[in-house]
Structure 1
Amino acid sequence: MKLVVFGATGRTGRRVVEQALEAGHAVTGIARTPAKLNRTHERLTLVQGDILDYDSFASVLQGQDVVVSTVGKGAVFGSVKLYSEGIENVIRAMEEYGLSRLIAITSGGTYPGWDDNNSIFYELLIKRVILRGEYADMRRMEERIAETDLEWTIVRPSGLSDEDGTGAYHVKVGYSLPASNTTRRDDLAEFIVDELESNQHPRQGVAVVNI
Structure 2
Amino acid sequence: MKIIIFGARGDVGRRLVKEALMRGHQVTAVVRNESQINDIPSNTNSIIGNVISGENIADLMQGQDLAISALRPPDGQEELLVPLTQSILKGVEQAAIRAIIVGGAASLKVPNANGHTVLTAPNFLPEAVVPIATACQAQFELMQAQDDVDWTYLCPPAMLTPGERKDHYRIGSDTLVVDEDGNSGISMEDFAIAMLDEAENPKHRKQRFTIGY
Smaller-chain TM-score bracket:
0.7 to 0.9
Tell me how far apart the structure 2 counterparts of residues 38 and 90 of structure 1 sit (CA, whole Å).
21
Tell me how far apart the structure 2 counterparts of residues 139 and 22 of structure 1 sit (CA, whole Å).
32
Counterpart mapping for 1:1-211 below 5 A = 1-33=1-33, 34-41=36-43, 44-55=44-55, 57-73=57-73, 75=75, 80-99=78-97, 101-111=98-108, 116=112, 123-125=121-123, 127=125, 129-148=127-146, 149-158=148-157, 159-179=159-179, 180-210=183-213
- How many Å apart are 1:178 and its aligned residue? 2.6
Say if 1:156 and 1:206, in contact at 8 Å, map to a contact too.
yes
Tell me how far apart the structure 1 counterparts of residues 57 and 129 of structure 2 sit (CA, whole Å).
28
Say if 1:109 and 1:175, in contact at 8 Å, map to a contact too.
no
Instruction: Name whichever of 157-166 and 172-181 sits farther off.
Output: 172-181
Does the residue aligned with 2:42 lie in a helix, a strand or coil?
coil
Does the residue aligned with 2:89 lie in a helix, a strand or coil?
helix
- Structure 1 residues 6 and 38: CA distance shift in structure 2, 3 A: closer
Tell me how far apart the structure 2 counterparts of residues 89 and 162 of structure 1 sit (CA, whole Å).
28
- How many Å apart are 1:90 and its aligned residue? 1.0
The amino acid across from 1:174 in the alignment is D
Gaps of 5+ in 1: none
Say if 1:156 and 1:175, in contact at 8 Å, map to a contact too.
no
Gaps of 5+ in 2: none
Tell me how far apart the structure 1 counterparts of residues 39 and 136 of structure 2 sit (CA, whole Å).
25
> Residue by residue, what CA displacement relative to the aligned partner does 1:137-193 show, whole Å, maximum 9, x if unpaired?
112211222222222211111211111121121111124123232110000000111
- How many Å apart are 1:93 and its aligned residue? 1.4
- How many Å apart are 1:114 and its aligned residue? 5.8
Instruction: Name whichever of 200-209 and 125-134 sits farther off.
Output: 125-134
The normalised TM-score by structure 2 is: 0.84
- Structure 1 residues 146 and 36: CA distance shift in structure 2, 3 A: farther
Say if 1:8 and 1:37, in contact at 8 Å, map to a contact too.
no
C-alpha RMSD over aligned residues? 2.4
Say if 1:173 and 1:205, in contact at 8 Å, map to a contact too.
yes
Tell me how far apart the structure 2 counterparts of residues 182 and 74 of structure 1 sit (CA, whole Å).
23
Tell me how far apart the structure 2 counterparts of residues 128 and 58 of structure 1 sit (CA, whole Å).
37
> Residue by residue, what CA displacement relative to the aligned partner does 1:112-131 show, whole Å, maximum 9, x if unpaired?
x765479x9x9445637322
The amino acid across from 1:40 in the alignment is S
The amino acid across from 1:151 in the alignment is D
Tell me how far apart the structure 2 counterparts of residues 62 and 36 of structure 1 sit (CA, whole Å).
24
Aligned length: 202
Say which structure is richer in helix.
Answer: 1
